[in-house]
Amino acid sequence: KISILLENRTLLSFETLSVTDIELRNEIASDSPLGFFGVYWYALELNRPIDLKSSISDRLNIGYKIKFNFSKLYTETMQGYSLDVGLTNKINDNFSVGFVIKNFGEESSNNLRVDNPSTIGVGISYLTFNNKLLVMSDVLNQNNEDFIKLALETQLPYINFILGSTYSKNYKDISFGLKVEYSNWSMTYGNLNHDNPSLGNPTSIEIKKYF
């Protein structure tokens, strides 16, 4: 994933995922695959803030994200779009609240169209311990299921630690990360552990350059 943040706080991103070694078999399984095929997914994002009057822009922020995606699985193709809208309100220097509506849109393939599962959520963040620790919590609803998220992030120079967890009736996970910042560079490492071992534990590395 490659992103660039412009001077007007507009963020442009391009993302791609692919798997190229999926085994192709007939309806009757055989010891050896007939061949191999791939899955490809591409996405383009536009993130923009909504300009507000200067009298309230210092404490209230509103923005949106439009995302277009295209995917291909063997001989089938699919395309879609989604829209996210969110806002944050800074109550004071330490406390903020937020609201988000995510993933409104649809996916289509030939004459088939399917609505995306949307997500609605509220959240809070609180800066404590002499501004050295950021505590964040969210409550989200997706597919009529409630999710509770809690995260802690240190606010130290150069090196910071991140710890988070998600819990619902049918799902739970715990994640941790490390963020290193120096000069105009930033690198973040993250690892997610959830309750479905067959899916593995995703790991991510993010590198940022500030100009």
Maximum Cα interatomic distance, the chain, rounded to a whole number of Å: 70
Average pLDDT over every residue of 9-17: 94
The residue among 122 and 109 whose pLDDT is bigger is 122
Q: How far is CA 131 from the centre of its chain?
A: 26
Find where tokens 């191999």 sit. Answer: 36
pLDDT tens-digit readout, 61-93: 999 999 999 999 888 899 999 999 999 999 999
Beta bridge partners of 137: 124, 150
Residue 19 neighbours by CB under 8 Å, 6+ apart: 38, 39
Among 143, 137, 113, which Cα is nearest to 124's?
137
Provide mean pLDDT across the span 121-129: 97
- Does 96 have pLDDT greater than 90? yes
pLDDT of residue 142: 93
Task: Confirm whether pTM is higher than 0.85.
Answer: no
122-127 contacts at long range (C-beta below 8 A, 24 or more positions apart): 122/97, 122/98, 123/97, 123/98, 123/99, 123/149, 124/95, 124/96, 124/97, 124/98, 125/95, 125/96, 125/98, 126/94, 126/95, 126/96, 127/93, 127/94, 127/95, 127/155
Q: End-to-end CA distance of the chain, in Å?
A: 18
